[in-house]
Amino acid sequence: MKLKNIVLVCFLLAGISACKASEEGLVKDNFSFATKQLEYALKCSDAVLTQKPTEKNGRAKVIPRTIEKDGSLRVVSSHDWCSGFFPGTLWMMYQYTGDENWKDAAARYTWSIEGAKFHRGTHDLGFMIFLPYGKAYQLTGEERYKDVALQAAKTLSTRFNPTIGCIRSWDWNRQKWQYPVIIDNLMNLELLFWATEMTGDSTYYNMAVSHADKTLKNHFRPDYSSYHVINYDTITGGVISKETLQGYSDESVWSRGQAWALYGYTMSYRFTHKQEYLNCAKAVADLMLNYPGLPEDLIPYWDMSDPGIPNVSRDASAACIMASGLYELSEVLPIDGAKYRQKADQILENLSKGYRAQVGTHQGFLLLHSTGNRPANDEVDAPISYADYYYLEALLRKATLDKAK
């Protein structure tokens, strides 16, 4: 081999090694940061929980969710839809580090929400129970975690209406909605798919597929932007109305809803291999990544079509969900996969640079600048537990992909 070619090969190999080191460095740096910040989060949370806070109904508040406008920590009960994210985050710390201290902390917070496995008044048992208990079972193999998650799947299945073909989302506001189904509900289908894998009972799988099929039919506009809420008629199973409760308007493009759709159909494809789910996930990803007004750093505004852009809040949580979904999507698309993975890398890099909290601040939350419910003026430009959860999940998925290169 000529000297010139040898030098070129060495240069290319050095570049590849440097790139890989940089990629690994991003994951390592963020978990190093997360270690310090979540240690502080445990101190903050434990200090509040020693006061034994309760809801008006007497149910104990046991899980950190966000920060109140006065800077204090908002803690919620096991029945809050966000109760599973913080313990799930702790399990991912154990997954990455292997440190038994994280396992102990994760188990302590996980068992504090066990009672939600019987909660029939919510569609969010995937978020609440499957994220921490499913992860705990995956990492420890302990049957008691699996048993709790399977009970949650049984409970969730009671909300399925065969006439409509979907799981009911909300029970409130019955004077307005007969049978509301929200785009977020796709995320809870993972619990049902998993339950069939664990038990062999296809009932769960069939419910999940029915829900995903009906959502695909009714939630999306021609450009694959999504409505938030579809209100169904309980007698005919037909659509009464299409709305967007937590976005700017009924016809607007609510960012987190789009991220749920991207992630939800990518996940559903993993279990079913239905091409239409993959097509939808790709179309939603393309819409988000090419939407006019998407900031250069790829961290979307809370609603992608808010006319107040750029003078409105961002949503780091939507970016985290999107990044995690894009990593999984990249694995099943041999032609376009590299493009989606590159975008996910860019999102994580920009979150790390501009959205992380300083260690020892903000009650131990990892990321700032998420938007929960802007129309209700709640959790606006705030840290939120599900942003942190999907941030770490995206980092773990990146680490897995980096090792496979």
CA 8, chain centre distance (Å): 43
Q: What does the alpha-carbon distance between residue 318 and residue 387 come to, in Å, rounded to a whole number?
A: 8
Cis status, amide bond into 310, omega within 30 of 0: yes
Is 124 catalytic? The answer is yes
Element holding 380 (H helix, E strand): strand 378-382
Catalytic one among 80, 104, 124, 286?
124
Question: Is there a contact between 367 and 381 (Cβ–Cβ < 8 Å)?
Answer: no
Distance CA 91, CA 105 (A): 8
- Which residues does 2 contact at the CB level (< 8 Å), separation at least 6? none
d(CA 46, CA 309): 39
Q: Alpha helix locations (H) across 158-274?
A: 189-199, 202-218, 255-272
184 annotated active-site: yes
DSSP string, 145-182: HHHHHHHHHHHHHTTEETTTTEE----S-TTT-SEEEE
Residue of 184, 306, 315, 345 marked catalytic = 184
Task: Return the active site residues.
Answer: 124, 184
